Amino acid sequence: MNFKDYLKSSLNKADFQRVWDSFFEPKSVGFYLNLLKFDKDYIISNLDDLGVEFREILPNFYLCKAEFKEILTHSELFNKGAIYIQNPSSYLAVLALNPAKNDIVLDMCASPGGKSIALANMMGYGADLAVMESDSKRFYTLKANLNKYGCEWVRTYNKDARSISRSCVGRFDKILLDAPCSSYSHFGDGFVEKSAKEIKSLSKLQKQLLNSALSALKPGGCVVYSTCTFFECENEEVIQNALRSKFDINIQPISFGLKSEIVSEFGLRILPDCDMDAFFLAKIVKNN
């Protein structure tokens, strides 16, 4: 499936041009502070010493211009795990889940761990957080990152997350499902085009993963489903499929008041711009 053609057909002319141009513009750099290992004042004063100009755009999440990226990635703060570099769109998934200190939480598709570490920061040291990753190589990257960022207590499972529909029925208060997707959100050296067959098979996997998440959720609990792709069959269609399933669920509206967001009955789309990557988010509550 040609991504550019798909984008043209799914957006109006002005939005298409804005979105397409955004893939070639320098992107701001986002990061959050790792308060599990370091004190906020210590990190902020070290960033000031490095000459990085930054502003807080979300709770504990900061943005600076692209020109500061190299300073950040070469800094001791980064090497010691005091900051985690992440696009703000990804951080929104963690904010939407909003886990409390005493919640039992699962991050189903976790590597390299950017959202798991943000969840751990929000919940606090020792909180009941488990993370899963099916790919062995990516699992070891996840473990290494959790250790680097002082999250060694987090329980890690190198497993296919679809298995929780049998092993963990009704166990979790909150689940993050940041699903594997076709990833048409970063241009990089070009988009790696995926065939219609590959997209269909991803959509099938996403539906199975969401079904498993709903089985493993406590009544009253919630799942945040997210992807970084534009394709409807990986986003709204996955949510519609869950609404048609045996689960008694409803979709909670989410909005962060961003100029780049499009709200629908199935979730929230973020259109990419100079700050945000393309993203889709849906918050699904399992009724009591």
Ligand X SMILES: C[S@@+](CC[C@H](N)C(=O)[O-])C[C@H]1O[C@@H](n2cnc3c(N)ncnc32)[C@H](O)[C@@H]1O
Active site residues: 228
Under rule CB under 6 A, which residues in 39-98 are in contact with ligand X?
Answer: 90
Annotate 92-160 with three-state secondary structure. Answer: HHHHHHCCCCCCEEEECCCCCCHHHHHHHHHHCCCCEEEEECCCHHHHHHHHHHHHHCCCCCCEEECCC
Q: Is 109 a binder of ligand X (CB under 6 A)? A: yes
For residues 173 and 178, which CB has a smaller minimum distance to ligand X in the complex? 178
Q: Which residue, 134 or 203, is less far from ligand X as judged by CB?
A: 134
Q: Is 111 in the site for ligand X (CB under 6 A)?
A: yes
Task: Tell the smallest beta-carbon distance from residue 208 to ligand X (Å).
Answer: 8
Is 133 labelled a binding residue?
yes
- In the numeric block, the tokens 């497993």 are attached to 159
Compute the chain's Rg from CA coordinates: 19
Q: Which of 27, 115, 174, 283 binds ligand X (CB under 6 A)?
A: 115
Contact 30, 63 (CB under 8 A): yes
Does residue 211 interact with ligand X by CB under 6 A? no
Provide the pairing of β-strand 172-178 with 217-227: parallel
**160 annotated binding-site participant:** yes
Restricted to residues 116-135, the positions that interact with ligand X (CB under 6 A) are 132-135
**Residue least distant from ligand X (Cβ):** 109
Kindly state whether residue 158 participates in binding ligand X, applying the rule CB under 6 A. Answer: no
Let me know: does 59 contact 95? Beta carbons within 8 Å. yes
Pick from 78, 75, 94: which is nearest to 38 by CA? 78
How far apart CA 91 and CA 58 sit, in angstroms, is 9
Residues in contact with ligand X by the rule CB under 6 A: 90, 109-115, 132-135, 138, 160-162, 178, 180
Which residue numbers belong to the known binding site for S-adenosyl-L-methionine? 133, 160, 178
